[in-house]
Amino acid sequence: MDMGAVTNYITSVNWANPTWDLFIVLFFIVGALLYGLSLGRDRVVIILVSIYMALAVVSNAPYLRDFNAELTINQGFVLRIGFFLGIFLVLFFLLSRSALLKILGGEGGGSWWQVVVLSFFQCGLIISVILSFLPEETLNNLTPFIKQSFVSDAAKFSWLVLPIIMMAIIRGKKKED
């Protein structure tokens, strides 16, 4: 993604008639900044792990695939998004109450830049995952900028891998004895 595409997108925004594309971009910006800073690094890491686990379950659930085949296309993607969000919320609740929070998060909330970077990748991942469940005809209504940033194969791969790399790079504060 080049800066020309970003500039073209910004200049083409019609604030009088907002679109889903604008909602996606605003969610991404607000989520990466305000949401991440209010939660702290430990919770953001738990949310990332919950997203990966929920995605693995929904992507590989044979019963969901079989049930999905009996529904129309419009009902199927709503079902997948609903299951994904439901499994994500249950996993987040369970993981945040477990010892995994202490193991993954380390001690403390991390510095503000760590939280912003992780929440940036978290928001990108959640947008990419949810958009991947939408039918092709719905995705065709999105702008090329959004499709290139969140829906293309390269974008989906990047949003899946980059949070893992960042979690490995960003380390928690060491516990002092």
Examine residue 25 and state whether it is found in any structural domain, yes or no: no
E-strand ranges in 3-159 read none
Q: Is residue 2 a part of any domain in this protein? A: no
Q: What is the pLDDT of residues 62-120, one digit of tens each?
A: 776 555 555 555 566 788 888 899 999 999 888 887 766 666 555 555 677 888 888 88
Query: Domain containing 153: what range?
Result: 35-169
Examine residue 108 and state whether it is found in any structural domain, yes or no. Answer: yes
- Report yes or no on 3 lying in a domain: no
Residue 8 lies in a domain: no
The reply to whether 87 falls in a domain is yes
The model's pLDDT over 35-52, given as tens digits with 9 standing for 90+, comes to 777 777 778 888 888 999
Dump pLDDT digits (tens) for 120-162: 899 999 999 999 988 888 888 888 888 999 999 999 999 999 9
Examine residue 72 and state whether it is found in any structural domain, yes or no. Answer: yes
Q: Is 176 domain-assigned?
A: no
- Cα 115–108–112 angle (5° rounding)? 25
Instruction: Return the closest-CA partner of residue 149 out of 118, 171, 127.
Output: 127
Number of domains composing the chain: 1
Q: In Å, how far are 36, 86, 126, 145, 154 from 8, measured between CA atoms? A: 27, 36, 24, 9, 21
The helix-helix angle for 73-96 and 112-133 (nearest 10°) equals: 150
pLDDT at site 86: 92
